[in-house]
Structures are given as structure tokens and as C-alpha cells.
Amino acid sequence: MSVTDFDRLPIAASPAAEGHLKVVPVRHRARTIGTVAAVVVLALILQSVLGNPRWGWGIFAEWFFSEPVLAGLGRTLLLTALGALFGFTLGTLLALARVSSSPLLAGLAWGFIWLFRSLPLIVLLLILNNLGYLYETVALGVPFTDITFASWSTTQLMTPFLAAVLGLTLNLGAFSAEVIRGGILSVDQGQHEAAAALGLPKGHQARRIVLPQAMRSIVPTAFNEIIGLAKGTSVVYVLALPELFYTIQIIYRRNLEVIPLLMVATVWYLIILSVLSVIQYHIERHYARGALRTLPPNAFRVVFAKLGLVALHPAEKPVAPAEEAQSAPVTSRGFEGLPRGGAVEIRGVAKSFGTLKVLSDIDLSFAPGSVTAIIGPSGSGKSTLLRTINHLERVDEGTIAIDGELIGYRREGDTLYELEEREILKRRTDVGMVFQNFNLFPHLTVLQNITEAPIRVRGLGKAEAEALARDLLARVGLAEKADAYPRQLSGGQQQRVAIARTLALKPKVLLFDEPTSALDPELVGEVLNVIRELAASGITLIIVTHEIGFARDVADRIIFMEQGRVVESGPPVQILNAPRHQRTADFLARVN
């Protein structure tokens, strides 16, 4: 259509011209027919269930709230609650043991899971109930000696109730361990690395970083297990323990009203399942925070909104005018006040992955406050070198020291002793690391991402850590994003938060592993501007980058690496304009 054709079209009726227009939604005939058919089927079922006297609804009503049924129900609920509590606690420990780096622990956990997943629950319950035949007494004392502090008769100790709780716990522990392990494995490796790079201890990493994220995939399957457990408690009838189903059996054997009493059990199981489903829904929503950009409205809110009682979306908190301002691309306050940069000494470092030699004979010194860019072709070992500096990767040969303190080792004479995890974590906090993929913790807000390590590692109070975090956020131009979740931010904003998170530990050395590679071109500038300001702050910066122009601008030295070796290093003008090696010249010709 030409411009002149457009000119001839009648002027579109605008709401302003026509007043308020009525909108007629499109009709969905198939949907209407389906709804009518569903209502008819429902009416038929209701008529058959309520109209047939053999269902015995009178007897159902008589027994539904009867004392023995409620007592049985109470036992079923108690067994489910205790089985779930102890079973999942055991399952969590087993899962952590399975993923631990100790082969013995992992092997023992595997053996436990193998055994108790193989044993049918009914067999396990009967063995536990007959434990008194195998061991007459249970004693507390010193193993392999005759010293005994106390002893009990096994038959008296192992009541049917205890046997039931123990059996359900062991069974659920074995199954839930695999569910939890699956959840742990679903958490991205970068999350473990980011937590380790911040110096968070292993237990804290598991509790605050890994498990909360794993819960997203654990919860649906875990609730399947709990629902199975609630119904599975009926197996304990073999121990003559009158839980709900066994009680029902006793009653219908006496009065022969089988169907009405089975209906009593069915309806109670339906109620239990419904309550569990509501709990599951809320737990899933709790762990979905941060995983979705915006959480869909709560199901109850949707129903109330349909009835016109509330608005579908709660009113947004009004934003103060100052907070409305766009993120400042560059901080105006700079990074003065950071600790003095540290000196890094790398001596004779070599590293292999299997048969692949990734680093050879690396000897490098980085002066306090220096800014170094490492460039080189893909696979040349740049990231590996960077990761050895904060001991995320162990070196095979050589040493790395920050201000004279060895990373990962203690030296006595000619011997290097590997440090304990606790010591490694402590020294690691002197070295901050910013990753290519940001690796922010998605389930924590921006503020929590930044305060987590200062509180846990540096021992700061919450208020002090939050003040520090807000100050750093202002410096990277993101003061208004403190309460947002990482997924609600652009890539460039996430990377700036990652920089603020690293700075909160006041490191002496800051490592950047291709900090702009995962960013859209228009977002690169905002991150580079923050790094540029950091370069003027006196902190020691080591940056692996593909941004040659930026390296020229900001670095006072460029190192060119190829095939795990340093080919040459020197001031940007020399390396980029007059390289001494042909290989450097060839690389620069390819990337420019």
C-alpha cells in the first residue's frame, strides 16, 4: 500500500471521537459445550451417589465423627507428621552425604538408600516388631567392652508405635534422600562457586544458598512422598496399631457395613490430601520468590477477584520520586575508601585437567593497585589462571601469594601444608571474584545478596551490613533496586550488583572473569564504566576480557596468553601497537 493509499483511508474512529466503546469478548462455543457436558456428568454422579441407598450415607454420618474413628485419624496424622519430620531430616543428611566429596560417606549413604529402598515397608515393619527376638536388650555403654551404663528390654522398648515411626522414617528417609539429592544437583554449579568465592562456609552454603534453591524441584516430589506416607500408614495394621484404616476395618467386621465405613476412611483421606495440597501450594509459592520475574497472584486472590471482592493485583507501593530516577549508568561517588590493593605473586604455576595441560610455568607479579588485562584465544587458560588465584582451582605445581600469604597452603621450610577449608575460606575473602554469568543468588533480594557474606564471614551486624550494601548500591548506580530480585534486573544491572556484592567484603584484589561476555552490547558500557572507576580506586584488578579497546583504556598492563603460557606482557601501547611475538600480532589481527 502506498502512502497515497493510506491518505485515502477513512479516519479511524477513536475512543475520543466515539465516546466510550463497548467491548464484546469473542465467544468460545466448544468451551461452552464442554462446560455444559461437565455439569451434566457431575449431576449424574451426584444423583447416583446420593440417590442409591446402598451407599449408606446415614451410617456414614453416624461414624464419621465417632470417637474410635477420630482416635484412629489422630494416630494416622501423628504417624504422618513424625514420619515426615524424621524421614526428611534423615533424607537431607543422606543426600548431603551422597553429594559429599568423602567416598566413604557417599558410599555409606548409597548403601543405606539401596537397602531401605529395596525392603518392602511391610517387611521392614515386621522385622522391627520382632527385633526383640534378635536382640533381647538394648544397652548404652562403651562398644567392644563390657562397660554398660543402662540397658532396656527390646520388647518393652520397641512398642508397635515406635516400630511404626522407625519403619516409616527409615523408608521415607531412603526415598526422600534421592528426591533431595535431585534438587541439590539441579542447582547451577555457578551458585556453589559464587558462594565459595564469597568465603561462605560449606554448611552455610548448603543451608542458605543451595537447599532453598533446590526446594523448587524438591517440594512437588516431596509432597508426593508425604501423601504416599499418609496413605501408607495404613500398612501399620500389621503391627495391630489402630490407625484410621485399621480402626475402620475393626468396625466393619463387627457391623458388616463395609461401604459406608470405607467411605468414612475415603473422605478423611481426601481431607488430609486437600490440607496437604494447600500447604504444598504455599510452600511452593514461598520458594518461587525470585525464581519468576513476577509471581502470579495467589489462587485465593484470583477466586475473590472473580467474585469482585478484591482487586486481582494488590496496589503497588508508591515509589518516592527520587527512586523513580533511572539507574545512573556511572556512579558519581567513585570507590574511594576501599582497602589498599594487595600484591599478587604467582611462581611456577602449572595445572592439568587429566592429560590436558592447561597452565605451564606461569610466573607473574601484580603490584598493589595495578590494573591488568589478560587477553588470549579461547581455551588458552585465562579463566583457569584467574580461578587459581582465589583457589577455586587447585594448582598442581607452584605457589600463589597475596601480600606474602600463600593461597591454599602454609609453608614450613620446603614443605607446603594444605590449609583446612575454614582457613582457605578466610584467606579467600581478600580476593573478590566477578563471574561472567553474574551468579547472583536468585532467591535472595539484591540487598540480601550483598549482606549475606559480610554478616556471615566478616561478622557485621545486620543494620551495619545493610548500610554498607546500600552505600555500595548507590556507588554502582542501583540504589533503588535494593529490594528487587536478581531476575527482575537487566544483565548489566545484575553484573553491577555482583560487583557491589564482591566489594562488600572489602577485598584487596578483584578478579573479573569476562565480566561483559554475557551482556547485550548496549549493556556492556555500564559495567565497563563501573570497572573503570574501580581501576582508579587503588584496588588491584585482574581482568580477563575480550574487550581489547577497554583493556587499552583501563589497564596499565596487558598479558597475552596462549596454550596455557604467558606469551608476552607489557603496557597496552606496546602489546597492542607493537607486539614482540608474531602469535600476539596474529591474535590481535583476528580480533580487531
Q: Which position among 129, 247, 384, 540 is part of the footprint of ligand ATP (CB under 6 A)?
A: 384
Nearest CA to 551 out of 357, 376, 302 is that of: 376
The whole-angstrom distance between residue 385's C-alpha and the CA centroid of its chain comes to 27
Tally of residues, the chain: 592
In terms of CB distance, is 384 or 445 closer to ligand ATP?
A: 384
CB of 388 to ligand ATP, least distance (A): 10
Q: Three cell numbers at 72?
A: 484412629
How many residues sit close enough to ligand ATP to count as binding (CB under 6 A)?
Answer: 11
Rounded CA-CA distance 188/173 in Å is: 25
Q: Does 378 bind ligand ATP (CB under 6 A)?
A: yes
C-beta separation of 525 from 330 below 8 A: no
Q: Which position among 111, 337, 379, 549 is part of the footprint of ligand ATP (CB under 6 A)?
A: 379
Query: Binders of ligand ATP among 335-364, rule CB under 6 A?
Result: 353, 356, 358
Q: Which position among 233, 370, 383, 537 is part of the footprint of ligand ATP (CB under 6 A)?
A: 383
Residues 6+ apart with CB under 8 A from 294: 488
Q: Does 537 bind ligand ATP (CB under 6 A)?
A: no
DSSP state letters, 228-248: HHHHHGGGGGGGT---HHHHH
Stretch that binds ligand ATP, among 204-212, 241-249, 378-386, 565-573 (CB under 6 A): 378-386
Coil/strand/helix, residue 558: strand
C-beta separation of 348 from 398 below 8 A: yes
Q: Does 171 bind ligand ATP (CB under 6 A)?
A: no
CB of 331 to ligand ATP, least distance (A): 28
In terms of CB distance, is 249 or 383 closer to ligand ATP?
A: 383
CB of 82 to ligand ATP, least distance (A): 43
In terms of CB distance, is 257 or 547 closer to ligand ATP?
A: 547
Rounded CA-CA distance 122/276 in Å is: 24
Beta-bridge mates of residue 397: 350
Q: Three cell numbers at 195?
A: 558462594
In terms of CB distance, is 489 or 558 closer to ligand ATP?
A: 558
Between the alpha carbon of residue 269 and those of residues 131, 232, 273, 279, 360, the distances in Å are 31, 11, 6, 15, 66
Q: Does 380 bind ligand ATP (CB under 6 A)?
A: yes
Q: Does 181 bind ligand ATP (CB under 6 A)?
A: no
CB of 389 to ligand ATP, least distance (A): 12
Q: Does 516 bind ligand ATP (CB under 6 A)?
A: no
Stretch that binds ligand ATP, among 167-175, 184-192, 209-217, 373-381 (CB under 6 A): 373-381
DSSP state letters, 266-306: HHHHHHHHHHHHHHHHHHHHHHHTTTSSSPPPPHHHHHHHH
Q: Which position among 183, 369, 381, 579 is part of the footprint of ligand ATP (CB under 6 A)?
A: 381
Angle 567-569-572 from CA coordinates, rounded to 5°? 130
Ranges assigned E (strand) in 187-302? none
Stretch that binds ligand ATP, among 176-184, 275-283, 311-319, 379-387 (CB under 6 A): 379-387
- Residues at the interface with ligand ATP (CB under 6 A): 353, 356, 358, 376, 378-384
